[in-house]
Structure formats: structure tokens, C-alpha cells
Amino acid sequence: MAKVYAITNQKGGVGKTTTSVNLAASLAATKRKILLIDLDPQGNATMGCGIDKASLEYSVYDVLVAGRSVADCVVAAPECGFMVLPANQDLTAAEVELLNEIGREFRLREALAPILGDYDYILIDCPPSLNMLTINALAGSGGVIIPMQCEYYALEGLSALINTINRVKQLINPKLEIEGILRTMFDGRNSLTNQVTDELRRHFGEKLYSTVIPRNVRLAEAPSHGLPILFYDKQSKGSLAYLALAGEMLRRAGKTDPHGDVKEDEQ
């Protein structure tokens, strides 16, 4: 059964999409079956995987609003080794169209139920707000991955997100947990970075990934080629960091799951 993770932070530009695309590629490189769901009307994750958002037959909009099956709407990310449920501008209308629907928070969860057996990991790239799309992601996930930049105001924004996660957990999805906090665009030479890191460790302990994603221009270039960093510049620091993150995730999963998520050849 797939583990489902929402990659979310209501702040824009913190590395949600970069993390979604590159973690999907890194996990796929370990032979896991991966589905990446683009839940942002900007469609950046879709484009970043080399899929043209302007010429989609179906998108996640059709799943959420028209009740079309996920299996019908997924497309293969060319040469990347994983599947994508893509998004484009159509998704902007979804929130309004869902407004009067009963059970609107559960649209994504219900749609994912029949395909959970087809994947090892499902990653959801969330929009930069705590709207109904993000609530759908949180309602349908087992864990939340929070990418953040180590800057002064970052912690302030986190409390609103943590409150939302706790409300969703209380009211609609008791199994929701914070899976991990990921430091992105990391620059260890900056003293503020170290202060924020100390603070994050105090608040979140082991949930803070020890892997950090460095600021790396190759990561910013890769989307314009429609490629995850792994296929654009495999040896770059950014690529190695996302491979390390996938490794850390799999080791964590192996610790909590007695049947182990780490395959024998990786131990």
C-alpha cells in the first residue's frame, strides 16, 4: 500500500515543487513505484517533469470535480520513471465548484483509495495556501513533509501550518502526522541558518531531516529543461542532496515498519 505524503507550506517559493519533483525522481531511482500529484493550478510540477500543461487530456481537476478515476488521468513523466497526475489553470475553478459539494474535503482521498495498491509512494505538491486543495491533500495523506527556508520569518508561518495540520488531524484525518521538516536552499555559512536550525530541532526533534538541500543553481535550471535534477545534472550538489533525502526517508520508514521499507540490497 502506498504511503501518501503532502508536501506543503503555505509560503510560496520555499521549495515545495522542487522537492516534490526531485524526491519523486530519487525514490523512483530506488525502484519504488511513484505517483506525483500536482495540486497547484500553476502546474509547475507538471512542467518540471516535462509534461506540457497546456495540452493535457485530463488533469487532477477532472478527478476532483468530475469524478474521473485517477488511473484515467495519470501520465508518465517522460524518461523519469514515475507517473504524474498533472495540473493546470483549470484547477483554479475547482475550489469554487467544490464549495457546495458534500464531503468536498475527501475528494482526493476517495479518488486515491482504488490505486493505493499500485504505488509505493504518492507525493502531493500543494499550492501556496491553506485552501480546500491543501485540505484535500492533508485529508488524503498519512504524512506531511514541510520544506522551509531557514530565515527569520519562516518559523512564524510554521505555526499556522501546524495548527491547520492539527485541526485536520482532530476533525477529519486522525492518522495524519508530520513526516519531516526539510531545510531547503540551505547555506550553512549564514549564522541565522544555524539559529533557525537549533530552534527547529528544539521544536521538532527527530522530525527534522538531517539531510539539507543546499542552494544550488542546477536545481533552479532543471525545470526549464523539463527534467528532475537527477536527469539534468546527476553529480550536482542538488541531485546528491535529493538522493540522500530519499535514502533518509526510506531508512526512517524501515525503522517504523517492522516489515521494512528498505530492500535487502540497501541495508
Residues that bind Mg ion (CB under 5 A): 16-17, 44
Q: How far is CA 35 from CA 43, 152, 170, in A?
A: 15, 34, 27
Please report whether residue 15 would count as binding ligand ADP according to CB under 6 A. Answer: yes
- Distance between CA atoms of residues 241 and 170, nearest Å: 34
Residue 109 contact among ligand ADP, Mg ion, none, beta carbon within 5 to 8 Å by kind: none
Nearest position to Mg ion, beta carbon = 17
Q: Which of residues 135-154 bind ligand ADP (CB under 6 A)?
A: none
Burial classification of residue 146, based on how many CB atoms lie within 10 Å of its CB (0-12 exposed, 13-18 middle, 19 or more buried): buried
Closest distance of CB 163 from ligand ADP, Å: 19
Q: How far apart are CA 158 and CA 133, in angstroms?
A: 18
- Say if residues 128 and 11 touch (Cβ distance below 8 Å): yes
CA-nearest of 240, 36, 1, 200 to 125 is 36
What are residue 41's DSSP bridge partners? Answer: none
- Using CB under 6 A as the binding rule, whether residue 157 contacts ligand ADP is answered as no
Nearest distance, CB of residue 256 and Mg ion, angstroms: 28
Which of 6, 14, 56, 246 is close enough to bind ligand ADP by CB under 6 A? Answer: 14
Counting contacts by CB under 6 A, is residue 8 touching ligand ADP? no
Phi-psi region at 260: left, alpha or beta (left = phi > 0; alpha = psi -120 to 50):
left
User: CB 38 → ligand ADP: shortest distance, Å?
Assistant: 10
Nearest to 222 by CA among 245, 238, 242, 211: 238
Residue 20 Cβ, how far from Mg ion at the closest point, in Å? 8
Q: Does 215 bind ligand ADP (CB under 6 A)?
A: yes
For the bound state, the minimum distance from the C-beta of residue 245 to Mg ion, rounded and expressed in Å, comes to: 17
C-beta closer to ligand ADP: residue 69 or 224: 224
Which of these segments, 8-16, 53-61, 175-183, 242-250, binds ligand ADP (CB under 6 A)?
Answer: 8-16
Rule CB under 6 A: is residue 44 a binding residue for ligand ADP? Answer: yes
User: Mapping DSSP to helix (H, G, I), strand (E, B) and coil, where does residue 159 land?
Assistant: helix
Q: Please report how many Cα atoms fall inside a 13 Å half-sphere around the Cα of residue 168, on the Cβ side.
A: 29
Positions that interact with ligand ADP (CB under 6 A): 12-18, 44, 128, 184-185, 213, 215-216, 219-220, 223, 238
